[in-house]
Amino acid sequence: MKILAIAMQKGGVAKSWLTRSLSVVASHEGLNVLVIDMDSQQSTVAWSERREAETPLVQFSTERELPAILKRASEAGCDLVFIDTPPARSTEAPAAVDAADMVLIPCTPDIEAYEQVARTERLARLAGKPALAILTMTQPSGKSEQEIAQEVFASMNLEMALPTIARLKAHRDAAREGRTATETEADSRAAREIAALWMCIKERLNIRTSAIVHNCTREQVQK
Ligand SMILES: Nc1ncnc2c1ncn2[C@@H]1O[C@H](COP(=O)(O)OP(=O)(O)O)[C@@H](O)[C@H]1O
Ligand SMILES: [Mg+2]
């Protein structure tokens, strides 16, 4: 079982949205996916309730409950766990990073986010976990934003995923229905960018998607 923590000190950088979008793509590929929402606002749990679908499985967890939930998920045959974390100086993000095989750090192209990204990079580095930055909510034609971000991340030896994720209406429209752009507008730029990010993560986590059978149920994860 592989675990991906999605963490960044700053709020509103698309942590939760990337968690949901990537977990849907991974589920579509036949992976047995669990999403753990560690934010007390539970916006990813709410998205899951809006969606009225069996997959991906979404479960709220506190820092204290996390090890037990991960153990049950592993025993239940879960392939991949996404952990959505709250912003700011939470105790949840360090717990998620400690449990993870890799940390995805979403960052928007603005100075406030760049100022915060170093803290999250440090959290991953001190825990000895590989980290990957992803530039989110870029202007749909914002090439220069990408170049600036590359410089910022390079200065802290933080690898950056390509391509970036543009701010697009398709994402917001899908969110309202508890779905993702991959489901509502499969041929859109929004869906293609998420697919490209997923390929990047899949390769780094060494995930193979052939001959995997769904067998992890809510009852098995919840106790
Ligand atoms: N690429 C995008 N294009 C348009 N809206 C987006 C995009 N990514 C995220 N959003 C929206 O931006 C808001 C903040 O994203 P969210 O994932 O909740 O951030 P965080 O979890 O980091 O606080 C949400 O309303 C989300 O639907
Ligand atoms: Mg969030």
Residue nearest to atom 16 of ligand 1 (CA): 14
Q: What is the pTM of this model?
A: 0.95
- Mean pLDDT across 14-20: 98
- Mean pLDDT across 110-118: 95
% of the chain residues with pLDDT over 90: 87
Whole-number Å distance between alpha carbons of 99 and 131? 13
Query: What does the pLDDT read at residue 214?
Result: 58
57 Cβ closer than 6 Å to some ligand 1 atom: no
- Mean pLDDT across 81-106: 95
73 CA to centre of ligand 2 in angstroms: 22
Specify the DSSP class assigned to residue 212.
-
174 Cβ closer than 6 Å to some ligand 1 atom: no
- Among 184, 188, 176, 195, CA closest to 25: 195
Whole-number Å distance between alpha carbons of 129 and 110? 25
- Ligand whose nearest atom lies closest to the CA of 40: 2
Alpha-helical regions (H) of 29-88 = 43-51, 66-75
Instruction: Kindly write down the DSSP assignment for every residue of 171-183, as one continuous string.
Output: HHHHHHTT--HHH
Whole-number Å distance between alpha carbons of 184 and 173? 9
138 Cβ closer than 6 Å to some ligand 1 atom: no
Residue 156's CB is within 10 A of a number of other CB atoms, namely 14
Query: What does the pLDDT read at residue 157?
Result: 96
For the cut 80, the answer to whether the pLDDT of residue 211 exceeds it is: no
Residue 120's CB is within 10 A of a number of other CB atoms, namely 26
37 CA to centre of ligand 2 in angstroms: 9
47 CA to centre of ligand 1 in angstroms: 12
Q: What are the C-alpha distances in Å from 43 to residues 36, 76, 99, 157, 162?
A: 11, 25, 22, 32, 27
Helix (H, G, I), strand (E, B) or coil at 80: strand
Whole-number Å distance between alpha carbons of 4 and 8? 13
Residue-wise pLDDT tens digits, 32-83: 999 999 999 999 999 999 998 899 999 999 999 999 999 999 999 999 999 9
15 Cβ closer than 6 Å to some ligand 1 atom: yes
Whole-number Å distance between alpha carbons of 29 and 166? 23
For the cut 90, the answer to whether the pLDDT of residue 88 exceeds it is: no
Superfamily of domain 2-206: P-loop containing nucleotide triphosphate hydrolases (3.40.50.300)
Residue-wise pLDDT tens digits, 133-186: 999 999 988 778 999 999 999 999 999 998 899 999 999 999 999 999 999 999
Residue nearest to atom 17 of ligand 1 (CA): 14
- Ligand whose nearest atom lies closest to the CA of 189: 1
Contacts of 33 (CB under 8 A, 6+ apart): 23, 26, 27, 55, 56, 57, 78, 79, 80, 81, 82
Q: What are the sequence ranges of the domains in the chain?
A: 2-206
Q: Which helix (H) or strand (E) holds 132?
A: strand 131-138
Residue nearest to atom 25 of ligand 1 (CA): 172
41 CA to centre of ligand 1 in angstroms: 14
136 Cβ closer than 6 Å to some ligand 1 atom: yes
153 CA to centre of ligand 2 in angstroms: 22
175 Cβ closer than 6 Å to some ligand 1 atom: yes
- At residue 89 the predicted structure's pLDDT band, cuts being 50, 70 and 90, is confident
Q: Which helix (H) or strand (E) holds 3?
A: strand 2-6
Q: What are phi and psi of 175, to 5 degrees?
A: -60, -40
- At residue 213 the predicted structure's pLDDT band, cuts being 50, 70 and 90, is low
